Structure 1
Amino acid sequence: MKSAFTYHGLSIVLGVVFILILAGQAVSGLSLYNEEQLQDGLQKIGMLDYITSSSFVVDVAENWQSEYLQFLLYIIATIWLVQKGSPESKTADKVGVESDEDQKIGEYTQEDSPRWAKKRDWKLVVYSNSLVIVMAVIFFFSWLVQGVAGHVNYNEEQMKALEAPIPFGEYLLSAEFWNRTLQNWQSEILAVVSMAVLAIFLRQRGSSQSKPVGEPHDATAVGG
């Protein structure tokens, strides 16, 4: 019998890597934060105080929101847009939301199809768009957390410099907020474009994100 790792190895390994990297960020971030505290003549803080601080939360949230924006935009874009030769793209004849038969919904469902896929009411509409809905909720929530934590962190820095704090609305229009936001957005979009285009010409044997090594460059929607 195959182990749980055989069937869930990807999520397990990436989950562990995520936790290790987040822990590393917390450790290195605390060290840097305490260095700055001492330079400002202030007391050092402990790990629990740091990971619940606006400084740590804003750094985490701004990365999370940009990642989920990447997925959100990519999911929506790949409904209507194609890239010839990319395994990340549909073929040109599949542009759009596709037919009920292609999507295996309604009378075209299978015995083991998800229950909501067999409906003909609001449940089908929700389930048909559930991935975008969840990605959008996580994105906007993370962006809100970034804004709130960033505002607190910015005002803390203002007070350390003996400057007046600013209202939340003013912070959302500030260069500080948009610089934090846009520097992440541009990198995520670049990563998506690079993956879609480079996978046309380059291969990774055995990866589902790559075409088979021998597939021609113009083969589209072909996984490894």
Structure 2
Amino acid sequence: MKKFFKNNGLTIVLIVAFLGSMLGMWISGWHQENAELASHGLPSMSLLAYLKDESFLSALFENWESEWLQMCFYVTLTALLFQKGSAESLDPDSAEDAASDTSSRDTYPAWMRQSYILRWIYRYSLGLALFFLFVTSFIGHLVASHASHNSQAAMHDGPARTLIEHLVSSQFWFESFQNWQSEFFSTAMLVVLSIYLRFKGSPESKPVSASDTETGA
């Protein structure tokens, strides 16, 4: 067990932190939603009912959407673009062309060696998987946000929207952009700060002895 945790500690701790944060979001959101319902003279909902509520799901997918977009952009852009001196970048003066396929077929799993398409998917599978997760979360956010808007509209005797109307609404894109901007900004700050700052032992940092102009971890 000790060896298992040593080998998987980073994932375990992050998953535990995710579940703890998810629990906090669930319980605090439930209290907030019941306070909103009470202000309109409506009955409160149970904790389990709130887990399926459109307002909870909208907020959940809204945040997941921005995270997957950030990571998809990050993985893709670090293969194409450079930042001299950053631990988060390939060295523009010595990096090999990441777009070229210099590996032999023998480096791929046996079942995909005879198919160029499967080999291409495998080469870019991390970015493709992150993009798929972004699209899935984007759709989940759209559907749940649409249902949440119509639920709020019904409480305030307002007009309902179709899904397409909600897709092109300022409300939906405000919900998305307010998270996207923070993800891109924090990633840019990590790229820049890793030029000048260090964290001993982290693979996201250059060695403490490295110069500011040295690129890569």
* TM > 0.5: yes
For 1:125-167, what per-residue CA distance to the aligned partner results, in whole angstroms no more than 9, with x for missing partners?
A: 1100111111111000100000000000001111111011011
Q: 2:199 aligns with which of 181, 204, 219?
A: 204
Secondary structure of the equivalent of 1:94? coil
Distance in 2 between residues matched to 1:210 and 1:86, nearest whole Å: 9
- Alignment match, 1:145: 140
Q: 2:185 aligns with which of 175, 184, 190?
A: 190
Distance in 2 between residues matched to 1:11 and 1:85, nearest whole Å: 28
Structure 2 unaligned residues grouped into runs of 5+: none
Distance in 1 between residues matched to 2:109 and 2:211, nearest whole Å: 35
* Amino acid in the other structure paired with 2:95: K
**Change in CA separation of 1:125 and 1:14 when aligned onto 2, cut-off 3 Å:** same
Correspondences of 1:44-123 after superposition (within 5 Å): 44-92=44-92, 93-94=94-95, 96-101=97-102, 105-106=103-104, 109=107, 114-115=109-110, 121-123=116-118
Distance in 1 between residues matched to 2:112 and 2:52, nearest whole Å: 41
Q: Does the 8 Å CA contact 1:116/1:127 hold for their aligned counterparts?
A: no
**Change in CA separation of 1:156 and 1:68 when aligned onto 2, cut-off 3 Å:** same
Q: Does residue 179 of the first structure (1) align with residue 177 of the second (2)?
A: no
Q: Does the 8 Å CA contact 1:158/1:165 hold for their aligned counterparts?
A: yes
The number of residue pairs the alignment matches comes to 216
| Alignment TM-score, normalising by the size of structure 1 | 0.91
* Amino acid in the other structure paired with 2:207: P
**Change in CA separation of 1:187 and 1:116 when aligned onto 2, cut-off 3 Å:** farther
Q: Does the 8 Å CA contact 1:87/1:220 hold for their aligned counterparts?
A: yes
Secondary structure of the equivalent of 1:62? helix
Q: Does the 8 Å CA contact 1:106/1:119 hold for their aligned counterparts?
A: no
Deviation at 1:114, TM superposition (A): 4.7
Q: Does the 8 Å CA contact 1:81/1:95 hold for their aligned counterparts?
A: no
Deviation at 1:173, TM superposition (A): 0.9
Deviation at 1:100, TM superposition (A): 3.9
The percentage of aligned residue pairs carrying the same residue is: 34
* Amino acid in the other structure paired with 2:98: V
Deviation at 1:120, TM superposition (A): 5.7
Secondary structure of the equivalent of 1:209? coil
- Alignment match, 1:167: 162
Secondary structure of the equivalent of 2:212? coil
- Alignment match, 2:40: 40
**Change in CA separation of 1:177 and 1:95 when aligned onto 2, cut-off 3 Å:** farther
Distance in 2 between residues matched to 1:26 and 1:2, nearest whole Å: 32
Q: CA RMSD in A?
A: 1.8
- Alignment match, 1:157: 152
Secondary structure of the equivalent of 1:136? helix
For 1:152-200, what per-residue CA distance to the aligned partner results, in whole angstroms no more than 9, with x for missing partners?
A: 0001111111011011111111111011000000000001000000010
Structure 1 unaligned residues grouped into runs of 5+: none
Distance in 1 between residues matched to 2:194 and 2:23, nearest whole Å: 32
Distance in 2 between residues matched to 1:217 and 1:117, nearest whole Å: 42
Deviation at 1:76, TM superposition (A): 1.3
Distance in 2 between residues matched to 1:194 and 1:45, nearest whole Å: 41
**Change in CA separation of 1:107 and 1:39 when aligned onto 2, cut-off 3 Å:** closer
| Alignment TM-score, normalising by the size of structure 2 | 0.94
* Amino acid in the other structure paired with 2:176: T
